[in-house]
Amino acid sequence: MKFDSIIIGGGLSGLVCGLRLQKAGRKCAIISSGQSAMHFSSGYFDFLDRTPDGKTTKDLKEALGNLPEEHPYSKIGKERLTGYMGSVKEFFSGCGIKLGGDPFSNGYRITPTGNFKPTWLSLEDFSLLENESVPWKKVLIANIEGFLDFNTSFIAESLESRGTACRTSVIDIEEMQRLRRNPSEMRSANIARVLDRQECADKAVSQIKQQLQDEEAVLLPAVFGLRTPEVKDRLTKAIGREVFFVATMPPSVPGIRTQMRLKEEFEASGGVFLAGDTALSPELAGSRVMSIGTVNFGDIRLEADSYVLATGSFFSKGLSATPERIVENIFGLDIISDTQRERWYDTDFFNRQNYISYGIRTDSRMRCIKEGSTVENLYAAGSVLGGSNPLYEGSGAGTAIFTAMYVADSILSSVNTTL
Amino acid sequence: MSQHGKKNVNEFDVIIIGGGITGAGTARDCALRGLDVLLIERNDIATGATGRNHGLLHSGARYAVTDQESAQECIRENMILRKVARHCVEETDGLFITLPEDDLAYQEKFAQACRSAGIGAEIIDPKEAIRMEPSVNPSIIGAVKVPDGSVDPFRLTSANITDAKLHGAKIMVYSELTGFIKDGNTVKGVRVHSHITGEDLEFYAPVTVNAGGIWGHRIAEMAGVTINMFPAKGALLIFGHRVNNVVLNRCRKPANADILVPGDTVCVIGTTSSHIPFDEVDNMKVTPDEVDLLLTEGAKLAPSLATTRILRAYAGVRPLVSADDDPSGRNISRGIVLLDHETRDGIKGFISITGGKLMTYRLMAEWTADAVCRKLGVDRKCQTMDIPLPGSKNEDIEVISKKIWGSAGTIRKATAGRHGDLTSRIPAGNRYDTSLVCECEEVSVGEVRYAMEELDVHNLVDLRRRTRVGMGTCQGELCACRAAGLISQAGNCAREGKKDLKHFLNERWKGIYPVGWGDALRESEYSQWIYTGVCGLEN
Amino acid sequence: MTEMKMQENNISENNFEQCIKCTVCTVYCPVVPVNPEYPGPKQAGPDGERLRLKKGIFFDQTLKYCLNCKRCEVACPSGVRIGDIIQAAKIRYGKSRPKLRDFMLASTDMMGGIATKVAPVVNATLKIKPVKQIMDGVLKIDHRRSFPEYSSQTFESWFRKNALRDQEKFDRHVAYFHGCYANYNYPQLGKDFVKVMNALGYGVRLLDGEKCCGVALVSNGMINQATRNARRNIKLMEGALSSCEAVLGTSSSCSFTIRDEYPHLLGVDNSSVRDRMELAVKFIYRLLESGKAKLEFRDDFKARIAYHVPCHMEKLGWGIFSARLVKMIPGVEFTMLDSNCCGIAGTYGFKKENYEVSQAIGKPLFDQIRAVDPDYVACDCETCKWQIEMSTGYKVMNPISILAAAIKGRD
């Protein structure tokens, strides 16, 4: 089966790359081995919360100047990257996803444990705070009765320590009883399915209205709007106060929705999304990838001019670790990592973990390197890349999006030069 | 009730220092004999060597060739625990296997020694052994079946504490000994600092028992006596699920990593053995070399260990005591050491109980309580060999679950497995109480509430020891936040709750990173993204 | 430190240890949102498995609510065979013997063999209200369910009388695993398959004495029978493959069962045939793509077709082949339906206790079909066909039948 480009990995990076190529007229297939890390989204995209040397960033353009050479952002180059940043909202709105925030500076978000964390852009139904202070004097924090993956007391404690008066409450609607009978499935996505029904959302609204006193805002777990982010506006109108969603523990309702939207958009623009399939046994000739197989396709090979590796890090199985080494799983590509196992970890769970910075080595155009030489038509995007620690820096989504754009543009420009 | 006409709330018949299995067992034994008991523990119960071993219900076979006395003690206690600690014990049986590289002649000598110690050892056909335990190394050339089993040390300690409390004992966890109250050469009582309230308190009793395990060395020093103890570190690995259902041992002289024990949902290989300085006792790390050794040797017992996911690595310290006439430490006893410091050192009102092993805790407690009674001039007989522990009435999981719920799903059976007949005390009346907190080990909200209300739980790590929250495959990734929320809400202490959550995740991480590869590393990456990336708990 | 050469992979039976508790599977399970009794794929699968390995008593009877649709497996980022873990646990620990009803529903070939002989009577009887009430009351087969009709002539007997002679004129051959449905209920599918393969230059052979693939036997706990069928079928296929290029099926569930459930659930080694046993659509796609054969389509074929990917097709990852074949027909206006389970899951939806759940699961799909309003729905699975036809009134056709209708040549 022939395509112009084949992308391995159907997460944020793979989909952004696929969409950019597909919309530029290239025929793409995405091979996706299971659902992506988007399912644990915070409702926000991070770009660069702090630099590798630990400095909190505010003006992002300025921060880009101080990144090490091997950092994926440095490879994209400051000028190109700021161009991408300027157009990122447009790109996503073209995919039906509205983003909030200033692409050139960071704001803050409130996390499920009530912490304030720097972040970059918000999904449509999430709001950014300008700084670390709370914009409300009084808030109501409501949870769905019996929902354990969201804890109002954690958030209340944190807001109160910043001088905001908090009241907590629970919403208990009849239609939730059925779900609650199940001891393990009182989860965000299942709750959201119930609340997607208009009559259930209405009941939730009327309870919140009853509970409200003189609070300026209502903080709710992000269990609304599995299909569409517009639910937030409807809630706000119906309640008559500011509604502020806070992410829950996984799975992430806004993440699932965003993933589904990007996939739909990709398919609607003519892309082929092979779900639940795993790429394997690539065929290389000289410095080029000629074709790739998949578990489900068997002897039917997938062929393309260019290939993109967007397989993610350990979680998504782009990388794996044995006791002795870090391995890239499909091509056996060159890896940036430490050889001594002791170096992989910090003994404190919350400190910078070196293993998270490991990933594949690329040239300046994000082309992969195998046994020291560049594979000419194999590019990499997203967290399979080495050279940065996306968790420590808070640069996961930014890296996924912009390396994908850069790779797509590299592919497009190489097509144009050869034509 | 007091033997000596109690005057004040801070006066007891006996004070026991240490909430390990020995202290807990001694507290229960003394309380059953009607003594007024105080137990102080600087941490939670079962935090030392008690909770850091194989959880093996020794048949005694391991000691049969080298130490007949220990072997006899073990088999006697083994049989008693099956009776009185039913919900803490699993009767799995054990195999002592001979590999081609081992001397088969040892097997006969071994079986003989077992029989003379009263251990039912039966030499069986290797083929029969493979049928009995399919995970065993298929190249075995010999196998002896023995009555080994597994025992859950947390459950056992908690049951002893519960019964001690039911019989009037006062249990103070997170209460650290700061000094002894002495009158000349007599220990009159203890000074205690409470880490919960921040108070400094004094308690008095005619007899004080040092049951501090390896920390007993320092406790003795505080009382002005010397015990020659040698901290021996033993590292172990926990695998993600049960590979074996029968305990596997090597039939040879005891050595490294030669026991694989199935315990609850996991199995454990161990141990290594190395002497460590006292200053490392509170912060032990498992080294890569130890991990590699455990795996290499473990795979000889059950080859599938080479490809089985490892959950974590941990290490305990055996409180080894050298004989009094040998301060060099070369002549180390693994037997029970009961020291009456009055006769030994001239310090009155002070007893140390140390050495021994998890298996013989009840016997150690019996000897200690006997000594306490002698000192108090009380004539009460030990009853712990006959009276079942709370939760251990003679019923199995299915009978218990059926009685309480009629038809029970997996979650309820899992709860019944952990709490035995005390399960009926666990709230399950409404749909919130039956919701799951820990999905790997199937711990419900009701069980968490019960542990918080009745089992002296002060934080997530304590909760883990009582309920197995966070002991499963995810090592706290899903349940830690839920449980922290419940604890915070119950105690109205969200700030501490979040700190506790961080502490718990770090405690889990400490055991994970030594085996951080494969799916364990994938799982850690996921956890770290959730708790730092999404939650920002690092701030 | 020297290399241990250990722990390169974590391998366990059904690889449940690879589960890292990410909860993704719970999002895509079609049963969880509609049936609170079902513990969900994570609990029923990898989580429960650890406890069951400790002791069999931890087996939970509610695992029976699993549809075995494998959507959890398609969603799982860790490659855990969640559905297999659940099915294997049902096989290993489920004690209850199949009821008469389950036996009847599962024994598709035996029941079919009897029914085709008296098809008009059976078909009429199965439609009578009192009969449905009795089936509902006594057998617990839901009375709201309409039964697939039985054909009065089996495909096999039609083939012997009408097609067999011509097939040997071809140089190349494929063997056809027709399955119970094409044989007893809808021989037209088999006829369509023969027409298409002949048009591609292939003669068709049958497997002499083909047994039911066993998909219904497995889900109803009749494992011994399923295993016997599996062994027999593999043996027949091995024989056929000495002279045929491939063994082809037209039912996604039969093909999935033979390729994946045989080794994973029944422990029947199919490695000698697996690579050459596939759905006809995949074989035909390969043939057309390589340019080795061509299909000539009628000029007057016009249809608006919405394609539904059956769950097992989704798991096989072959929906793209059906879609591409149908799309290539000139005159077809093609819509790809969202990936949703129809709710029938073989015999599951026939059972009285599952009827409501079954219809609730299918609702999003039915709604979408109504919204698209196609001339007909394309789908590779016969039980999806029954469910969609009964629930929406739209006609459902196998992609092979659509090809047969669209190509030139006589029927």
- Taking an 8 Å cut-off on Cβ atoms, the answer to whether C51 and B414 are in contact is yes
- Taking an 8 Å cut-off on Cβ atoms, the answer to whether C1 and B309 are in contact is no
CA distance B465 to chain C (A): 18
In this prediction, residues B150-175 reach a mean pLDDT of 97
Domains of chain C: 13-93 (1.10.1060.10), 303-406 (3.40.50)
Interface predicted TM-score of the whole assembly (ipTM), two decimals: 0.96
Average pLDDT, chain B: 93
Q: For residue B1, what pLDDT is reported?
A: 45
Q: Does B310 touch chain C (CB under 8 A)?
A: yes
C-beta of residue B443 within 8 angstroms of C-beta of residue B426? no
Q: For residue C142, what pLDDT is reported?
A: 77
Q: Does B489 touch chain A (CB under 8 A)?
A: yes
In the complex, which subunits touch A with 3 or more CB pairs below 8 angstroms? B, C
- Taking an 8 Å cut-off on Cβ atoms, the answer to whether B409 and C39 are in contact is yes
C-beta of residue B301 within 8 angstroms of C-beta of residue B292? no
Does position B486 have pLDDT exceeding 70, yes or no?
yes
Q: For residue C1, what pLDDT is reported?
A: 44
In this prediction, residues A218-229 reach a mean pLDDT of 96
CA distance C347 to chain B (A): 25
Strands C172-177 and C247-249: parallel
Does position A59 have pLDDT exceeding 60, yes or no?
yes
3-state secondary structure A104-141: CECEEEECCCCCEEEECEEECCCCCECCCCCCCCEEEE
Residues 304-323 of chain C with CB under 8 A from chain A are 314-318, 320
- Taking an 8 Å cut-off on Cβ atoms, the answer to whether C17 and B288 are in contact is no
**B197-to-B38, B175, B194, B465, B488 alpha-carbon distances in Å:** 18, 9, 6, 22, 17
**Residue C150 has what DSSP assignment?**
P
Residue-wise over B431-466: b if at least 16 C-beta within 10 A, else e?
Answer: bbbbbbbbbbbbbbbbbbbbbbeebbbbbbbbbbbb
Token pair 């081609």 in the structure block, residue: B100
Compute how many other C-beta atoms are within 10 angstroms of the C-beta atom of residue C120.
Answer: 10
Q: For residue B176, what pLDDT is reported?
A: 98
Instruction: Label residue B46 left, alpha or beta by phi (over 0 means left) and psi (-120 to 50 means alpha).
Output: left
Q: Does C194 touch chain A (CB under 8 A)?
A: no
**Residue C397 has what DSSP assignment?**
E
Distance CA A407, CA B75 (A): 69
Distance CA C250, CA C106 (A): 19
- The model's confidence at residue B162, banded by pLDDT at 50, 70 and 90, is very high
In this prediction, residues B175-204 reach a mean pLDDT of 97
Distance CA B196, CA C282 (A): 69
Token pair 């309640």 in the structure block, residue: A239
In this prediction, residues A4-32 reach a mean pLDDT of 98
Residues 84-143 of chain A with CB under 8 A from chain C are none
Residues 271-290 of chain C with CB under 8 A from chain A are 275, 278, 282, 285-286, 289
Distance CA B51, CA B464 (A): 12
Compute how many other C-beta atoms are within 10 angstroms of the C-beta atom of residue B406.
Answer: 7
In this prediction, residues B409-432 reach a mean pLDDT of 88
Nearest CA in chain C to A340: C1
**A311-to-A278, A315, C82 alpha-carbon distances in Å:** 10, 10, 22
Residues β-bridged to residue B270: B236, B259
User: Which pair of tokens denotes residue A356?
Assistant: 């998270």
Under-50 pLDDT residues of chain C: 1
- pLDDT, tens digit, 9 for 90 and up, residues A129-157: 999 999 999 999 999 999 999 999 999 99
- Taking an 8 Å cut-off on Cβ atoms, the answer to whether C57 and B397 are in contact is yes
Nearest CA in chain B to A394: B533
Is the full-model pTM beyond 0.90? yes
With beta carbons under 8 A apart, name residues in chain B contacting A114.
Answer: 494, 498
Nearest CA in chain C to A267: C336
- The model's confidence at residue B6, banded by pLDDT at 50, 70 and 90, is low
Residue whose C-alpha is closest to residue A311's, from A360, A362, A364, A258: A360
B271 preceded by a cis bond (ω within 30 of 0): yes
Q: Does A339 touch chain C (CB under 8 A)?
A: no
Does position A10 have pLDDT exceeding 60, yes or no?
yes
Q: For residue B398, what pLDDT is reported?
A: 84
CA distance C20 to chain B (A): 5
Q: Is C288 exposed, middle or buried (0-12, 13-18, 19+ CB in 10 A)?
A: middle
Helix, strand, or coil here: C99?
A: coil
Rg (C-alpha) for chain A, rounded Å, is 22
Nearest CA in chain A to B490: A153
Among C4, C9, C24, most A C-beta atoms within 10 A, so best to mutate, is C24
Q: For residue B32, what pLDDT is reported?
A: 98
Q: Does B430 touch chain A (CB under 8 A)?
A: no
CATH class of the domain comprising B88-150+231-319: alpha beta
- Taking an 8 Å cut-off on Cβ atoms, the answer to whether B529 and A181 are in contact is no
Q: For residue C356, what pLDDT is reported?
A: 85
Domains of chain A: 5-102+256-418 (3.50.50.60), 127-246 (3.40.50)
Higher pLDDT, C20 or B429: C20
User: Which pair of tokens denotes residue A237?
Assistant: 């109108």
C-alpha of B432 from chain center: 31
With beta carbons under 8 A apart, name residues in chain C contacting A193.
Answer: 33
Nearest CB among B431, B481, B528 relative to A146 is that of B431
Average pLDDT, chain A: 95
CATH superfamily of B14-48+154-228+324-376: FAD/NAD(P)-binding domain (3.50.50.60)
Does position B301 have pLDDT exceeding 90, yes or no?
yes
| Domain spans, chain B | 14-48+154-228+324-376, 88-150+231-319, 426-534
Nearest CB among C33, C39, C77 relative to A184 is that of C39
C-beta of residue A217 within 8 angstroms of C-beta of residue A139? yes
Q: Does B226 touch chain A (CB under 8 A)?
A: no
Who contacts B370 (Cβ-Cβ below 8 Å, separation ≥6)? Answer: B382
